[in-house]
Structure 1
C-alpha cells in the first residue's frame, strides 16, 4: 500500500510539474519566431492589415513574426498550412470568410478546424472600375447586367462566392438580374485583380475601398459604390448601393487571427492578450485609420460565435443562389 501511495504521489507531482512548466512556457509566449500565414497575396488589404498587426506584435514581444503569403486556391493553401500545424502558438494565420469553400465543395473547412483568437478588422465591399471605363456609375453597371448578365468580366478580388462578391450578387439578385449567368473571375487577392482592371483584362473589381487608394490617387481606378449602410468617413463622395438602387444590401469582409484546432485555453488567452495590446497601439489603429480600414475587436469567445454566424449566413445566401444544400442537410 505504501509503495502504491508513493507511486501515485510521484505521478501527481509529475503532472503538476508538467502543468507548471507549460504554464510558464505559455506566459512567456513567444520564445521564438512565429509564422503568421496570410491567405491572400502581397499588396492587398489582408496583407497590409496582417503585416501592420505583426509589426505591433514584434514591438511588444521582441520576437519576429514572419508574415507568409499563401493565396493559392483562393486561400485554401494558407488555411491548410496553419490548420495542419502543431497547436503550440508558433503557426497562426489570418481567418477571413471561409464557409464558401465547403458549400462549393472546394475544401472541408468548418469552424471546428480553427481556434479563433481575435477579430481585428471589418470592411464593406465596394465596386470599382477603371477611370477610363465606359461605366461611370453603379447604375451603368446594373443596366448592363440586366441587359446581359454575362457581358462583364468581374473580379472577385480573391476567391469567388466569398466576402466581396456575395453582397454584390445579392444586390444584382434584388435588381432582378439572372445571377446564374454572372461572369465572376477569381484573383490572387485584390491587388492582382486591380492590376487586371487597370490593364483592361477586367471590367469590374469587387473589394474594399482602401485597397484601391494608390491606384485611385494615380487616377487609374474609381469607386462607383460601397455596400455599406452609410457613406464611409474617409470616402464621403462614394455613394452607398442603397442610395443608387433603393435596395438596402450591405456586406463585406472581416479579418482575424486564428490557430489550428486544439489550442490550450491558457495559451489562447496569452496570445489574445498580446494581439489586443498590438491592436490598441497607436501604430495599428493609426495605420488602419490612415488607410481607411475598419477596426473591430472581438476576443476568442465572441469571435467563435461570430464565425458560427458567418457559416450560417453563407449557407443561407448561397442556397438562395443555387449552391450547396439547405442548412441542416
Structure 2
C-alpha cells in the first residue's frame, strides 16, 4: 500500500504525543532554570534561592536561579511565557505578575505576556508588605509621616520595583487612603530600591518583610506599619494600617511558581509534587524562609488557582485606579 504525503503527516501527528509523555515520565534529566524577573536582593530572590536549593535535593538536578530583570518584571516574566514548555524553565513570580500586563494596556502598549500563558504550580509564601523609613528619619510613626506629607505635598519620596509593581500599588493604596501626595521613584527591582533607602537617598518604601527584617533588627531602618490584617512575625511591635484606622489598606506580596502553559501535565504534576514535598518537609527551606521573615504559606491546585484569580482581579482594579503614569 502506498501512502500519500498527507496521510503520512497525519500518522506522524498522531504519534507526536508519545515522546512528550515519555519525556514527562523521565523528567528531569538536566538542570531546570528558575527565573526571577527582578534583580538580586528582593522578595522573589529571597524566596527563590532556598527553594531552588531544596528542589535540587528532591529532583536530583541543578536548579540555578537566573535573575532576568527589566521593566519592573516584564522582561523576565515574558521570557518564561515564551520558553519551551518542557519543564526546564520555571518562573518564581510575585503578585505583580497579573498587574504588569494591565499596566501595559493602560500605557497604550500591547502586553509582552498575559497570565493565561502560565500554568500555576503552587504558592510558596504570602507576606504583607511593610512600610520602611531610614532610622535616621524624623518619622517615628505613620501619624508623623502623614502629617509631614500633608505639610509638604510631593516632597517626600517613596521607591518601588517599577511603575505598577507590587511596591508601587501598596504605597498608592496608602496615599489614596491618607490623602497625601508623595513623589514616586521607580527602580528596576525591590533590591535596588531597598539599597537606595539604606543609603538615605530615598525617604520611604513598601517592602516584603524578608528583605527588610535584618536591617530593622540592626537599627538601620524603621518599620512604621504593615499592610496585613494581622501583625507579622518578627514585626510584632509594628501596627497594621487597619489597626491605625486605614481599613482599606491591605496588601500582600506572595511568591508562586509557574511553568509555561503548554508544559505536559506529568511534568507539571512532578514539579508540584516536588514543591509540596520541600515546603512540607524540608527543614532547611523552612528555617531559611522563617529567618528571612517570610514563612511558608503553601497553596496548590484549585485552591491556588482560585486565590490567583481573585487576587489578580483585585490588583488589576488597583492598577486601573492608578491610571496612566507619565
Q: 1:1-80 residue pairs with structure 2 within 5 A?
A: 15=14, 19-80=17-78
CA contact (8 A) 2:44 2:93 kept: no
Q: Look up the match of 2:103.
A: 104
Over the aligned positions, Cα root-mean-square deviation in angstroms equals 2.7
Q: 1:307-318 residue pairs with structure 2 within 5 A?
A: 307-318=308-319
Cα distance change, pair 124–266 in 1 and its aligned pair in 2 (3 A): same
Structure 2: any 5+ residue segments left out of the alignment? none
Partner Cα distance (1:214, 1:242) in 2: 25
Partner Cα distance (1:321, 1:75) in 2: 18
Partner Cα distance (1:146, 1:115) in 2: 44
Partner Cα distance (1:26, 1:318) in 2: 38
| SS state at 2:123 partner | strand
Q: Look up the match of 1:134.
A: 138
CA contact (8 A) 1:164 1:252 kept: no
| SS state at 1:127 partner | strand
Q: Look up the match of 2:259.
A: 259
Aligned length: 316
Partner Cα distance (1:110, 1:308) in 2: 13
| SS state at 2:132 partner | strand
| SS state at 1:48 partner | helix
C-alpha displacement at 1:246, in angstroms?
4.7
Q: Look up the match of 2:209.
A: 209
CA contact (8 A) 1:37 1:69 kept: yes
Q: 1:217-228 residue pairs with structure 2 within 5 A?
A: 217-228=217-228
CA contact (8 A) 1:145 1:152 kept: yes
Q: Look up the match of 1:289.
A: 290
Q: Look up the match of 2:171.
A: 168
Q: Write the deviation string for residues 182-211 of structure 1: whole angstroms up to 9, x where unpaired.
A: 311122332221221122210001112221
| SS state at 2:296 partner | coil
Structure 1: any 5+ residue segments left out of the alignment? 325-329
Q: Look up the match of 1:113.
A: 117
CA contact (8 A) 1:29 1:271 kept: no
For structure 1, which segment, 55-64 or 42-51, has the greater mean C-alpha deviation from structure 2 after superposition?
42-51
| SS state at 1:128 partner | strand
Q: 1:126-205 residue pairs with structure 2 within 5 A?
A: 126-156=130-160, 158-177=161-180, 181-205=181-205
For structure 1, which segment, 269-278 or 55-64, has the greater mean C-alpha deviation from structure 2 after superposition?
269-278
CA contact (8 A) 2:122 2:299 kept: yes
Partner Cα distance (1:20, 1:318) in 2: 43
The two structures have a TM-score, normalised by structure 2, of: 0.87
C-alpha displacement at 1:149, in angstroms?
3.4
The two structures have a TM-score, normalised by structure 1, of: 0.86
Q: Write the deviation string for residues 214-236 of structure 1: whole angstroms up to 9, x where unpaired.
A: 32233211111111112113221
C-alpha displacement at 1:3, in angstroms?
8.7
Q: Look up the match of 1:272.
A: 272
Partner Cα distance (2:68, 2:238) in 1: 32
Q: Look up the match of 1:84.
A: 82
CA contact (8 A) 1:92 1:258 kept: yes
Partner Cα distance (1:99, 1:155) in 2: 20
